[in-house]
Amino acid sequence: MRIARLMGLSGVLASAAVSTAALANDMTTKYNLRTPASGIAENLYTLHNFLLVVCLLIFVAVFGVMFYSIFKHRKSKGAKPAEFHESTALEVAWTVVPFLIVVVIGVYATPIVMAQKDTTNADITIKATGYQWKWGYDYLKGEGEGISFVSTLTTPYEQRLNEQPKSLNYLSEVDNQMVVPVGKKIRIITTANDVIHAWMVPAFGVKQDAIPGFVRDTWFKAERVGTYNGHCAELCGKDHAFMPIVVRVVTPEEYTAWVAEQKAKNLPAAPAVKAQVAQATAQ
Ligand SMILES: [Cu+2]
């Protein structure tokens, strides 16, 4: 009876794993990883599911043997404890089997981790600087080089206090989104201006600490156009929860247009400001 109930429980767990996979394409799910939008995120998602299955099998095997033994060899049935101390075969088995499991996991995971760290041959390099509590973006290399802006939360403070109805993108909306072209390798260099922050966009499988005085890097190649969001992932002070990351992935043509628009907005102003400064210092 108890075993039947346990088997029912493992059935529930197995069906939960299946429905998790079914929800994979649902952006609104609260119980699964974000829908992958990059090759790395896809690999991480598969790895995650593989490890869950490995854990589930170990769980079922260990508890199955345990509860079977407790039930089958219970005292009320007159069971006598067996004596098998220093069984070499058993000790070799319970050392080798876990070792092999770890080796299989390592062989599977290592290339994915190494690919995550390979930031070479990027098409565009963007520096993300963490500030208390906003992100600064500087396009350092590639198309859009020279563009520079700060990205700040735009959700009104009243919404946090429940004095206004919450917007659709509550706490995930910013004044200036990072814009990148689809299908291009984007290298993100992270650093910070005050305390440690972390630049994280789950749909790209990216999470990298941004440390003052140090430079770290990570990369992603977005496979689909759309808007993706993330949050600072390192506790950085009172407004840690209020410095979202929003990345808009657009077609290469739209990106070129956006770059032209940004340059028109920013660059002509620079000589004018320089002239003003020169005039002011000359006086
Ligand atoms: Cu932060």
Tell me, yes or no, whether 207 and 230 share the same domain: yes
Q: In terms of domains, do 104 and 130 share one? A: no
Distance CA 150, CA 177 (A): 9
Which residues sit with Cβ closer than 5 angstroms to ligand 1, an ion? 197, 232, 236
Distance 80 CA to ligand 1 centre (A): 61
190 alpha carbon – ligand 1 mean position (Å): 12
Domain match, 201 and 132 both: yes
Q: Which residues of 261-272 are buried (b: 16+ CB within 10 A; e: fewer)?
A: ebeeeeeeeeee
Query: 168 and 107, same structural domain?
Result: no
Angstrom distance (rounded) from CA 241 to CA 210: 16
Going by C-beta distance under 8 Å and a sequence separation of 6 or more, which residues neighbour residue 217? 119, 187, 188, 189, 190, 208
CATH number at residue 163: 2.60.40.420
Whether residue 282 lies inside any domain: the answer is no
Whole-number Å distance, alpha carbon 241 to ligand 1 midpoint, is 8
Residues 135 and 57 in one domain: no
Please, which residues bridge with residue 245 across strands?
230
Residue 97 belongs to a domain? yes
Same domain for 137 and 105: no
pLDDT of residue 206: 95
Domain count along the chain? 2
Q: Is residue 153 part of a domain?
A: yes
Same domain, yes or no, for 32 and 163? no
User: Is 280 inside any structural domain?
Assistant: no
Task: Write out the residue range of the structural domain in which residue 182 sits.
Answer: 124-269
**Claim to verify: residue 159 and residue 240 sit in the same structural domain:** yes
Distance 148 CA to ligand 1 centre (A): 19
pTM: 0.77
pLDDT confidence of residue 15: 40
In a domain, 76, yes or no: yes
* Domain match, 129 and 249 both: yes
Amino acid (1-letter code) at residue 9: L
Q: Quick one: 103 and 138 in the same domain?
A: no
pLDDT of residue 271: 56
The rounded Å distance from CA 152 to ligand 1 centre is 12
Q: Are residues 101 and 153 in the same domain?
A: no
**What is the structure's pLDDT at 127?**
96
CA of 94 to the centre of ligand 1 (A): 44
Q: How far is the CA of 277 from the centre of ligand 1 (A)?
A: 34
CA gap 196, 131 in Å, rounded: 9
Q: Same domain, yes or no, for 146 and 241?
A: yes
CA 240 to ligand 1 center in whole angstroms: 5
- Domain end point (choices 65, 89, 117): 117
**pLDDT value for 33:** 86
* Residue 277 located in a structural domain: no
Q: What is the CATH number of the domain that holds 63?
A: 1.10.287.90
Mean pLDDT by 10 residues, the chain (283 residues): 42 39 44 89 94 95 95 89 83 94 95 94 96 95 93 92 89 93 96 96 95 96 93 95 95 96 72 61 62
Ligand 1 centroid, distance to 52 Cα (angstroms):
30
